[in-house]
Amino acid sequence: MFGPIFLIDPRAGFEMVSPLFRLRDASSARIFVTRHRTRLVGRRSILDIDPIGVSFDTRPYSSIIPVTAVPNLDPKLQRDFATEIVRTLRQRGFDALWAGGCVRDQLLGRRPKDYDIATSAQPDDVRSVFGHRRTLAVGAAFGVMIVRGPRGAGQMDVATFRRDAQYSDGRHHDAVTFSDAEHDAQRRDFTINGLFYDPITEEVIDYVEGQEDLRRRVIRTIGDPHERLSEDKLRMLRAIRFAATFDFAVEPATQTAVTEMAAEIDIVSGERIGQELRRMLTCDGRRRAAELLLSTGLLAAVLPEAAGDRPERMIDVLARAEPISLSLALAALLLDCGDAQQAATACRRIKITNRETERAAWLVENQTSLCGASTALWSNVQPLLAHDGAMELVSLHAARVALGEVQSADVGYCRERLAWPADQLDPPPLLGGDELIRHGVPRGRIFKRLLQQVRDAQLDARIGDSQEALALVDRLLDL
């Protein structure tokens, strides 16, 4: 592979490439692939990465749908490697189990996207078992080592069993103490996330009634909800995210605690709030996510701009907007927020990318711009449909057809035009500034207006070539 620039969809996230390469600003980044190296270039950071295990979707950069980086991981190799790590640690006398999300996903019949391993081995032990070359000590202070697998198998977090001592600030634990599997389960957030699995004996190890809650389809904190949510306020959003993505209920006591503590979410950084919102608002269960955000008061706390007097309508638009993107989801929530400026302020607070912020604000600003498109002059509609955000704008209008706010004919018309080849949808201008100067038009305020009028005439097929364009210029100058 050589040369081209790809945009990584932040939804696919660097988490999928490797936890090591997640950019600090959690924004999208470009990836440069040359013969010699692969480099991620973000807004504030540049990282060279090991291209093994990464493959690229090669749709062009300008594509409306962001290009997604798909890690070239083979689920079977990943799973075998996760089993192999457990076997190797056992042979060296340590206890080791699969832990957390991968166990939950497997029991739900979903393919785990990665595997976390919990072990009695301490970071130094893990390093000596797997060797310096295959381990990375990024989180050693918390007991987390990364073990790199063979090509296609990815890499695994291998974390020492621990208990987290005190969360005096409601965000971070103050210290970690290494412990055993049972205490390691107790420190986790929700019962469904507190399960272990032994891949050798194929047994589930459950200290927290997680299996029962998976069967009952509920999100419940491990232990007292107030206590557990106070330790780390982000868990309030995680509860809603898991409920929405798995279509689970939030157990009543947990939900009551979230409702009572919702305002305290402000201690969590905008960036982490944004990451949770990104996941819950772009998943299939986003209607539930929004309903829960609204009913618990979290929406008012994290996105006060979304607090309009038509919440049902807002949630309806969010649920119907397809294909969903974060900008589109936020625009749906912010339709009634006042203006584009306010929408942008809301987006900036949750630290999504500039591009997404601009897009969301643009969508809010143009929320009615395509109404009447099918009977309007093409020159009025074309600039919107030639815009990078056109697909999302049409989706936003389409979501409002069922609510009687937009005519389906307008949406149909826009969709038809969006399917036009690029040079028909957005033909090259017949005239540019250079031609105007050569034609003897002096630079000045009139310049831009002339070009705009010529462009409109071109789009509305009142002129067909540059000669007719210059003739139009002469006529306009005569007026």
Residues that bind ligand ATP (CB under 6 A): 100-101, 116, 188-189, 193-194, 232, 234-235
Nearer to Mg ion, 101 or 285 (CB): 101
Q: Give the count of beta carbons closer than 10 Å to the beta carbon of residue 305.
A: 20
Instruction: Give the phi and the psi of residue 109 in degrees, each rounded to 5.
Output: 80, 20
Task: Give the x-and-dash track for 333-372 against Mg ion (CB under 5 A).
Answer: ----------------------------------------
Check: CB of residue 222 under 8 Å from CB of residue 261.
no
Please give the Cα distance from 394 to 388 (Å, whole number): 12
Nearer to ligand ATP, 172 or 448 (CB): 172
Angle, in degrees to the nearest 10, between helices 75-91 and 123-130: 110
Please give the Cα distance from 295 to 96 (Å, whole number): 41
Stretch 63-122 residues interacting with Mg ion (CB under 5 A): 101
Measure the CA dihedral 228/232/235/237, to 10°: 140
The entry of ligand ATP, Mg ion, none near residue 235 (CB within 5 to 8 angstroms by kind) is ligand ATP
Which residue has the CB atom at the shortest distance from ligand ATP? Answer: 101
Please give the Cα distance from 341 to 379 (Å, whole number): 26
* DSSP H or E run through 135: strand 135-139
The entry of Mg ion, ligand ATP, none near residue 213 (CB within 5 to 8 angstroms by kind) is none
The entry of Mg ion, ligand ATP, none near residue 199 (CB within 5 to 8 angstroms by kind) is none
Q: Total number of residues binding Mg ion (CB under 5 A)?
A: 1
The entry of Mg ion, ligand ATP, none near residue 189 (CB within 5 to 8 angstroms by kind) is ligand ATP
Provide, rounded to whole angstroms, the least separation between the CB of residue 407 and ligand ATP.
40
Nearer to Mg ion, 101 or 274 (CB): 101
Nearer to ligand ATP, 188 or 288 (CB): 188
Q: Give the count of beta carbons closer than 10 Å to the beta carbon of residue 15.
A: 14
* DSSP H or E run through 146: strand 144-148
Nearer to ligand ATP, 273 or 385 (CB): 273
Query: Cβ contacts of residue 109 below 8 Å, gap of 6+?
Result: none
Nearer to ligand ATP, 196 or 413 (CB): 196
Provide, rounded to whole angstroms, the least separation between the CB of residue 124 and ligand ATP.
22
DSSP state of 8: P
The entry of Mg ion, ligand ATP, none near residue 188 (CB within 5 to 8 angstroms by kind) is ligand ATP
Please give the Cα distance from 59 to 207 (Å, whole number): 47
Nearer to ligand ATP, 278 or 417 (CB): 278
Instruction: Give the phi and the psi of residue 39 in degrees, each rounded to 5.
Output: -135, 130
Which residue has the CB atom at the shortest distance from Mg ion? Answer: 101
Interface residue list for Mg ion (CB under 5 A): 101
